[in-house]
Amino acid sequence: LPDGSLKDQINSLADKIQFPLTKLFVVDGSKRSGHSNAYMFGFRRNKRIVLYDTLISQVTEEELCAILGHELGHWARGHTAFNFCFTQAYFGAAFFFFSLCFGSVGLVHAFGFDDSERPVPAIVSLILFFGTLWEPFDKAITFLMTMHSRKCEYEADEYSVKLGFGQQLQSGLCKINIENLGALSPDRLYSTYHYSHPPLTERLSAMMALDSKMK
């Protein structure tokens, strides 16, 4: 990101919350689509922030800082670290239970692989396990993680609002939701199960309620 007002504001925000920002990058996402996004990566004291050029063009500098305040809220509240650890534990558990079923003759025979003279390839056992035995657990865990993700989004919104970006975050989210062709008011049950982010209308209501409490 070139030197200028936006870079100064982002560095000031990082210093305010003690985020160890070392570099700022801009991705030329406009070459592929109009989708806008921002994210961060890095370990310990070496963090980077990446901005899509589409995001920079779609919102004001204050709104962009508000959106970054939301993203930094995930870091401050430990959401990123939790998701990383949970993912490792999930795959560890999945492959542990697969190892218990790997030699199961009944599992492969149930799907027609009953030729005792031809060993069943490991990839076939893997597909059968994850497509049958593990599937109910995966659906349940996915739903719980979706609910957790939605809770994290509200917490990150709250973090940005408490930084003083309430109005800017609301207007910024409205702009990028329109540009990204997001659904403003999807079916409640469908979005609860499938959407990792709450609908925009619900997030705006929560932020306006928080704004009222803070005044």
Give pLDDT, residue 152.
96
Per-residue confidence at 37, pLDDT binned at 50, 70, 90?
confident
Q: Is the pLDDT of residue 122 over 90?
A: no
How much is the pTM? 0.85
Q: Is the pLDDT of residue 119 over 80?
A: no
User: What average pLDDT does this structure show over 155-175?
Assistant: 94
**Chain-centroid distance, C-alpha 206:** 19
What is the torsion angle, in degrees rounded to the nearest 10, for the CA atoms of residue 54, residue 205, residue 49 and residue 181?
-30
CA–CA dist 107, 113 (Å, integer)? 9
Q: Which residues contact 152 (CB under 8 A, 6 or more apart)?
A: 74, 77, 79
Contact 153, 197 (CB under 8 A): yes
Instruction: State the alpha helices, DSSP H only, in the chain.
Output: 5-16, 53-58, 61-76, 79-101, 105-109, 122-128, 135-160, 166-179, 188-194, 200-214
Per-residue confidence at 46, pLDDT binned at 50, 70, 90?
confident
Q: Is the pLDDT of residue 36 over 90?
A: no
Catalytic positions, written as ranges: 71, 157
Across the chain, mean pLDDT equals: 89
Q: Is the pLDDT of residue 104 over 80?
A: no
User: What average pLDDT does this structure show over 114-131?
Assistant: 80
The CA distances from residue 174 to 22, 70, 123, 208, in Å, are 30, 14, 45, 14
Q: Which residues contact 92 (CB under 8 A, 6 or more apart)?
A: none
Q: Is the pLDDT of residue 184 over 90?
A: no
Q: Is the pLDDT of residue 60 over 80?
A: yes
